[in-house]
Amino acid sequence: MTKIPFSPVDLIREAFHYQSRFDGSTMVFKIDFPVTEDPAFSYLMKDLALLARIGFRVVIVPGAKERIDAVLREYRIVSQYQKETRITTAKAIPFVEMAAFDVATRFITGLSANRVDAVIGNFVRARGLGVCEGLDMEHTGTVDRIRTESIERVIKLGMVPILPCIGWSPSGKPYNVPSDEIALAASGALGAVKLFIISVSEGLRTGAYAVPKHLEVDSADRIVRLTPQEAEAILETNVFLQGLGAQDQALQELRLALQASQAGVERVHIIDGREEGAVLRELFSNLGVGTMVYADEYEAIRPLKTADIPGILRLMEPLVRQGNLVRRTAEQIQEKLADYVVFAIDGSVHACGALHYWGEGQAEIAAVATDPGYTDIGLGRRIVRCLIERAVKQELHRVFVLTTHTHDWFESLGFTECSVESLPECRRKVYDHKRRSKIFALDL
Ligand SMILES: CC(C)(COP(=O)(O)OP(=O)(O)OC[C@H]1O[C@@H](n2cnc3c(N)ncnc32)[C@H](O)[C@@H]1OP(=O)(O)O)[C@@H](O)C(=O)NCCC(=O)NCCS
């Protein structure tokens, strides 16, 4: 289950952590037309304006499909399709441009309301698709090149570039280009660290698609994160085996996310634009609200580093005060550095544990703690499992734990109660009889 961090101070800490991590980075936002009609759109604009003001390089690619459909309908222009691609005729292109700029202008309006300057520009050089399977695609085009130098100039002036779904040939001929393609090309050309795909889709939910069971889902059953390999496997299963086609929005978005991550975008976030604050939550908290496809190392259980020590002391402090954990100093932790493992997300520690060897083939699992904002999502169990695997690798025959409050939890992990006498001699000698911890052990 996804949880938000436990206190406003922690939220602020996380926000600063991410702000310094991504400051000066380029982020591309591909936002579908229906989002502009939702009440949450004004909040989205407020949030993007905020990001632009604090130093993120925001680039907007508005999708205009539904608006183009409506305008063409209004002017009684019937579109022909080649497979799923609309053939934009010479008669249709002025109306397509009108719709595309109408949508782009909504972003100008939204940003203006938040005192951020923006420019709709001819940032896409396009070329025509030509003749496909005997059909002249006329003004339907593809990205030839993203004019990064112009975009860079605009960003340097402190403005937000907006790339409507129109591109122009070197001779000035307009083409209708899919916004997905523009977002993908712009992300690659500008070296974006993030691409946001924002629509009004419910997203990738486990009930609706065949997905591997091990993937983490949120309280709405939406997949929280995926590697590109997992994304590829889901596409393969659902598109090829289950026959869900190009019309399926969540799969289309997943495909775009996969392509972007294969093109080098570190993280792609697919979010529902109707959720107020979704971009900020996805950006500034470790546990976002959408689906993220990540190509880089995101989270892992790994050995403790010296730089993590302040983080685990902070994590342990309230648990020490509650009497759940024994107090440890930074020096004591440093001395046993190699015994510890941590679960870190983006460099901040959210769970820890240690395995101390006491001789006689036995080791103690200790200092197991989970950040209160991240409990009940299996982190504690993963830490204990990792420590048990370590003990198995070291060919130990037993792990044990001394606990005052958590015996039920260890019992649920297969540990059983035993006596002080069963402890290795070295540990028995330093057993604190006043603390009266219970001893639980697991034979390996
Ligand atoms: C015990 C602790 C590590 C569990 O962390 P966690 O990451 O939430 O653990 P998991 O997500 O793997 O497991 C959560 C499950 O255990 C249950 N649980 C948590 N603490 C429990 C306890 N003290 N007794 C019994 N069950 C407990 C939860 O209700 C949850 O149950 P569910 O899966 O049925 O919903 C965490 O609560 C903690 O830091 N406690 C304080 C420190 C401590 O006592 N450490 C042990 C001393 S070495």
In this prediction, residues 23-49 reach a mean pLDDT of: 94
Per residue in 342-379, pLDDT (tens digit) is 988 767 889 999 999 999 999 999 999 999 888 887 78
8-298 and 300-443 in the same fold: no
The angle, 0 to 180 degrees and rounded to 10, between the axes of the packed helices 249-262 and 179-189 is: 20
Residue 3, pLDDT score: 38
Question: Phi/psi class of residue 185: alpha, beta or left (left: φ > 0; alpha: ψ in -120 to 50)?
Answer: alpha
Cα 146 to chain center, whole Å? 26
Identify the CA nearest to 402 among candidates 320, 326, 321, 322. 326
Q: How far is the CA of 405 from the centre of ligand 1 (A)?
A: 10
Q: Output the DSSP codes for 328-341.
A: --HHHHHHTGGGEE
The CATH code for residues 8-298 is: 3.40.1160.10
Higher pLDDT, 277 or 60: 60
Residue 163, both tokens: 């790339």
Q: How far is the CA of 380 from the centre of ligand 1 (A)?
A: 6
375 lines ligand 1 (CB under 6 A): yes
In this prediction, residues 133-154 reach a mean pLDDT of: 95
The structure tokens 């070296």 sit at: 191
Q: Output the DSSP codes for 351-408.
A: EEEEEEE-STTEEEEEEEEE-GGGTTSSHHHHHHHHHHHHHHHTT-SEEEEEESS-HH
Per residue in 244-296, pLDDT (tens digit) is 665 789 999 999 999 998 888 989 999 999 999 889 888 876 556 789 998 76
Helix %, strand %, coil % of the chain (to 5): 40, 25, 35
Q: Output the DSSP codes for 154-216.
A: HHHTT-EEE--SEEE-TT--EEE--HHHHHHHHHHHTT-SEEEEEES----BTTTS---TTS-
- Quick one: CATH architecture of 300-443? 3-Layer(aba) Sandwich (3.40)
Residue 296, both tokens: 């880089």
Residue 34, both tokens: 């229906």
19 lines ligand 1 (CB under 6 A): no
How far is residue 251's CA from residue 231's CA, in Å, rounded to a whole number? Answer: 9
Q: Which of 326, 365, 368, 406 to mutate to test the pocket of ligand 1 (most atoms within 8 A of CB)?
A: 406
Q: How far is the CA of 59 from the centre of ligand 1 (A)?
A: 43
Binned at pLDDT 50, 70 and 90, residue 8 comes out as: low
CA dihedral 84, 40, 282, 60 (to 10 degrees): 50
Residue 5, pLDDT score: 39
Q: Residue ranges per domain, the chain?
A: 8-298, 300-443
369 lines ligand 1 (CB under 6 A): yes
Higher pLDDT, 28 or 390: 28
Binned at pLDDT 50, 70 and 90, residue 243 comes out as: low
386 lines ligand 1 (CB under 6 A): no
Atom of ligand 1 nearest to the CA of 381: 12
Q: Identify the bridge partners of residue 82 per DSSP, sorted by sequence position.
A: 85
160 Cβ contact partners less than 8 Å away, ≥ 6 residues apart: 48, 52, 58, 59, 60, 107, 111, 116, 117, 118, 119, 154
Residue 241, pLDDT score: 64
How far is residue 118's CA from residue 155's CA, in Å, rounded to a whole number? Answer: 9
CA dihedral 49, 51, 54, 55 (to 10 degrees): -110
How far is residue 371's CA from residue 244's CA, in Å, rounded to a whole number? Answer: 40
Neighbouring CB atoms inside 10 A of 96's CB total 27
435 lines ligand 1 (CB under 6 A): no
Which H or E element spans position 280? Answer: helix 278-284
Residue 303, both tokens: 């050995």
Amino acid, res. 347: G
In this prediction, residues 49-78 reach a mean pLDDT of: 95
Residue 1, pLDDT score: 34
User: Would you say 397 and 444 are in contact if contact means Cβ atoms under 8 Å apart?
Assistant: yes
Backbone angles phi, psi at 443, to 5 degrees: -80, 135
Q: Which of 312, 328, 341, 375 to mutate to test the pocket of ligand 1 (most atoms within 8 A of CB)?
A: 375
- Do the strands 348-357 and 362-370 form a parallel or antiparallel pair, or are they unpaired? antiparallel
Residue 37, pLDDT score: 96
Atom of ligand 1 nearest to the CA of 406: 23
Residue 239, pLDDT score: 80
Residue 99, both tokens: 């719709």
Higher pLDDT, 5 or 327: 327
Higher pLDDT, 107 or 308: 107
